[in-house]
């Protein structure tokens, strides 16, 4: 279990803003506010892609009860999922290999019930700000893992490595919940107090 940091890394939010500005410059824009605070409909394709926090939780296999319609989450990963990086190993041509991989857009993101509650697209669609562990805020791609939000380190077999009949044995509860790490860490008690945070693994 990853230990939740006691306090945010000093200057984490400022770093996030800087990164947002850098991304904005890359995109040829001067940003008054971080791009991720724009409505989803106003994001460019590159900004849309950059919004993903890299949690990888949408790449786990879901099971649906045909009678009740209830969705169960498993720790079985898609065959294209790279467990180490927690990312798709062939994102650009993924549909050549996994035709039913769902492409998120601003319309379906509000309708897909199996997306985790921490999904950045879901949060922004609901008008919520990005959480402290999102790399655009923290300045580190590792905070999503250190905070216990991502599925890195707790995934099971790939789809092709397990028989269909055995899928139900891989049902997990953490997949659909907002993990404890979702909460922002406590602030230092006094100004200048040293952060004991060890959120980044970089
Ligand atoms: S659940 Fe959302 S934020 Fe997480 S990897 Fe999938 S699309 Fe990205
Ligand atoms: S094809 Fe790639 S993006 Fe789609 S579910 Fe599989 S690993 Fe995830």
Domain ranges of the chain: 12-178
CA–centroid distance, residue 121 to ligand 1 (Å): 7
* Euclidean distance between CA atoms 5 and 186, whole angstroms: 9
Per-block mean pLDDT, blocks of 10 residues, the chain (202 long): 32 44 49 86 97 96 91 94 96 95 95 93 97 96 94 95 96 66 42 26 26
Q: Is the CB of 86 under 6 A from ligand 2?
A: no
Does ligand 1 have an atom closer than 6 angstroms to the CB of 58? Answer: yes
Q: Please indicate whether residue 57, judged by its CB atom, sits closer than 6 Å to ligand 1.
A: yes
3 state DSSP class of 143: helix
The protein residue with its alpha carbon nearest to ligand 2, atom 2, reads 88
pLDDT tens, 118-174? 999 999 999 999 999 999 999 999 999 999 999 999 999 999 999 999 999 999 987
Quote the tokens at residue 81.
Answer: 């999922």
> Tokens 């230990």 correspond to what residue?
3
Give dist(CA 159, CA 164) in Å, integer: 8
Nearest ligand (C-alpha, residue 155):
2
Q: How far is CA 202 from CA 16, 69, 142, in A?
A: 16, 41, 7
Considering the entire predicted model, what is its pTM? 0.75
Residue at token pair 């410059």: 25
- Residue 115 Cα to ligand 1 midpoint, Å, equals 8
Q: What percent of the chain has pLDDT over 90?
A: 64
88 forms beta bridges with: 81
pLDDT of residue 175: 56
Choice from 98, 102, 114 to test ligand 2 binding pocket (greatest atom count within 8 A of CB): 98
């Amino acid at each position: 279990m990853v230990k939740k940091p006691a306090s945010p890394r000093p200057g984490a939010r400022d770093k996030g803003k800087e990164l947002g500005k850098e991304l904005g410059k890359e995109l040829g824009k001067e940003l008054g506010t971080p791009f991720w605070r724009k409505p989803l409909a106003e994001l460019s394709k590159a900004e849309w892609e950059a919004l993903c926090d890299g949690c990888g939780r949408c790449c786990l296999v879901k099971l649906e009860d045909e009678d009740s319609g209830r969705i169960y989450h498993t720790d079985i990963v898609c065959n294209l999922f790279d467990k180490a990086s927690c990312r798709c190993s062939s994102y650009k041509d993924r549909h050549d290999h996994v035709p039913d991989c769902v492409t998120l857009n601003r319309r379906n993101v509000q309708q897909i019930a199996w997306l985790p509650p921490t999904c950045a697209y879901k949060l922004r669609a609901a008008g919520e700000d990005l959480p402290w562990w999102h790399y655009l805020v923290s300045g580190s791609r590792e905070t999503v893992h250190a905070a216990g939000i991502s599925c890195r380190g707790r995934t099971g077999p790939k789809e092709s490595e397990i028989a269909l009949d055995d899928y139900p044995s891989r049902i997990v509860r953490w997949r659909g919940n907002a993990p404890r790490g979702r909460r922002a860490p406590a602030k230092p008690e006094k100004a200048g107090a040293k952060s004991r945070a060890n959120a980044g693994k970089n």
